[in-house]
A and B are shown apart, each in its own frame.
Chain A
Amino acid sequence: GESVGLHLPTLSVQEGDNSIINCAYSNSASDYFIWYKQESGKGPQFIIDIRSNMDKRQGQRVTVLLNKTVKHLSLQIAATQPGDSAVYFCAESSDYKLSFGAGTTVTVRA
């Protein structure tokens, strides 16, 4: 079946460094992707999204890159801060349904 998955389950990054979180998807028909941040004990929080007709989209300190050729999605966080420590999920949208990957736990070292 179709799936969305993340390459690495954990990422440790020094405060101030850039973080890169990767995601692979298998449904080539997907046309919309979202990154969510989930802090401990909380619900997923929207970070940034991208449509399949785009390769890159930038937000505040975050950039999402989409490579449709290899079905790969990445989230880059610039100047990582302690408040960025969380689990990050990529998700693909099919009409009203979201399919989530397993998540990458990001830990920021002071």
Chain B
Amino acid sequence: NAGVMQNPRHLVRRRGQEARLRCSPMKGHSHVYWYRQLPEEGLKFMVYLQKENIIDESGMPKERFSAEFPKEGPSILRIQQVVRGDSAAYFCASSPFRQTNTGELFFGEGSRLTVL
């Protein structure tokens, strides 16, 4: 039973380019969450998605960032026209239920974005 799979693990982009980060949730999980971790900081909530729906994107910057979780395929976090401040580790988590207070929330290994 594979865990939450994220790719790429490392991504280098120049300013102005686009970054696409992918997340395949655990089998049987239909709830996906994206978090961002800046160096020396804790994780910050970005967005919560279910299949084909964005439930809460309150933690995601209004511009340049978008997320989707299509009916088929992985969830994708897309960052357009990247800037150096976007350099961070982006973590995806999945759960079988909406609530996270069940201990059944699992994180992937993260995608580390470096913007030159």
Contacts and interface: CB of A to CB of B under 8 A. Distances in A.
A88 to B, nearest CB: 11
Contacts of B33: 96, 98
Contacts of A99: 45
User: Would you call the interface of chain A mostly helix, strand, loop, or mixed?
Assistant: strand
B42 to A, nearest CB: 3
Contacts of A32: 100-101
A8 to B, nearest CB: 14
Q: Sort chain A's interface into a size bin.
A: 20 to 34
Given A98-B100, A100-B43, A43 B56 contact: no
Interface string B70-91: 0000000000000000000001
Interface in B96-116: 98-101, 103, 105-110
A95 B107 contact: no
Contacts of B99: 93, 95-96
Interface of A: 4, 31-32, 34, 41-46, 49, 51, 89, 91, 93, 95-103
